[in-house]
Amino acid sequence: MRPTMQRLFLLGVGILFLAFGTRADSHPYNNLSAISNGSDPISVFGPLADSFNSGPSAFSLTSVTVLLQSEPIGEEISGGAVTMSLLSNAAGPAPGSVLDTIGTISSPLSPSLEAYTFALATPFDLTANTTYWIELTATSGSNTLWSWSFDTSGPGVAGQFFANADGVSPNTDGPYQMDVSGTTSSVPEPGILLMLGSGIGTLFLKGRRKLLN
């Protein structure tokens, strides 16, 4: 390949790489900043879970932040541990099978509500426009509580569901508080792709004409 054409080819590849390789932070579900209306004990009332939709683009889950607290039992603060898992969606909807164990934290936690982030060791790729569940389980002895709120105005909160010992309920009844965080691949609109293709084609034609002159 002649040097000029080679440079044009590399330029075109670079433009396409930038168009398809851009990733952006995404929070398809976030009601973490909503006012808490109560907290449920995970070991007593759990497992506790809340659903979310991955959104219109392929989504890589990197972390989930939840609002938790420990409740003293008498004059002692119990121990135990809390584990977070990513679950598929079963018919109903309802929590399905475990797809990944995100992480575990040991009790006791703060006696007041605080945000605790569970980070995945390796991002987990989710299918676009698909419902998943975040579930918290606790070992015996844990007195950790997960906060919930009637506020469904946060991104992706309305229209989803939460689950506990009472069954599955719509988020209008007070979903648990969490922030689902990750990245999405930015895919250009068809019009942008057409413009890119046209521009690259023009560059090749100009380079070819220069070589022939």
Q: By mean pLDDT, which of 8-17, 95-104, 126-135 is the weakest?
A: 8-17
Inform me whether the pLDDT recorded for 179 exceeds 50: yes
The dihedral through the CA atoms of 146, 150, 153, 159 has a sign that is: positive
User: What are the boundaries of each domain within the chain?
Assistant: 1-22+187-213, 24-185
The answer regarding whether domain 24-185 maps to CATH 1.10.3300 reads no
Inform me whether the pLDDT recorded for 213 exceeds 70: no
Inform me whether the pLDDT recorded for 146 exceeds 80: yes
Contact yes or no for 183/123 (Cβ under 8 A): yes
Inform me whether the pLDDT recorded for 200 exceeds 80: no
Inform me whether the pLDDT recorded for 16 exceeds 50: no
pLDDT recorded at residue 141: 76
pLDDT recorded at residue 206: 54
Global pTM? 0.78
The dihedral through the CA atoms of 127, 132, 134, 139 has a sign that is: negative
CB neighbours of residue 61 within 10 Å: 24
Average pLDDT over residues 74-98: 86
